[in-house]
Structure 1
Amino acid sequence: MLSTRAVGLGPSLRQAAFAPARTHALALSRPAIRMALTKRAIQTESHPPSAAMEILNKQRLKRPSSPHFTIYEPQLTWIGSIFNRATGGALSALLYSFSLAYLFFPGTFDSAHIIEFVAGLPEGVKYAGKALLAAPFAFHSFNGIRHLLWDSGKFLTLKGAYSSGYAVLGATAVGTAYLAFAM
Structure 2
Amino acid sequence: MSARAVGLAPSLRQAVFAPKFARTQLALRSAIIKRDVQTQSLPPSASQGILNEQRLKRPSSPHFTIYQPQLTWLGSIAHRATGASLSALLYGFALAYLVAPGTFDSAHVIEFVTGLPDYVKTTGKLVLAAPFAFHGWNGVRHLAWDLGKFMTVKGAYGTGYAVLGATALSTVYLVWW
Query: Structure 2 length as normaliser, TM-score?
Result: 0.71
Alignment of structure 1 residues 13-162 onto 2, 5 Å: 13=7, 47-49=40-42, 56=51, 60=55, 64-162=59-157
SS at match of 1:49: coil
SS at match of 1:180: helix
Cα deviation for residue 120 of structure 1 reads: 1.3
Supply the distance in 2 between the matched residues of 1:112 and 1:124 (Cα, whole angstroms).
22
Once the two structures are superposed, residues 117-140 of structure 1 have per-residue CA deviations (whole angstroms, 9 ceiling, x without a partner) of: 111112222111111100000000
Once the two structures are superposed, residues 42-61 of structure 1 have per-residue CA deviations (whole angstroms, 9 ceiling, x without a partner) of: 97765423585687578657
CA shift in 2, pair 1:133/1:56, >3 Å:
closer
Q: Which runs of 5+ in 2 are unaligned?
A: 1-5, 12-29
Percent identity between the two aligned chains: 66
SS at match of 1:140: helix
Report the equivalent of 2:17: none
Supply the distance in 2 between the matched residues of 1:126 and 1:54 (Cα, whole angstroms).
52
CA shift in 2, pair 1:118/1:60, >3 Å:
closer
Report the equivalent of 2:174: 179
Match of 2:128, as an amino acid? L
Cα deviation for residue 71 of structure 1 reads: 3.0
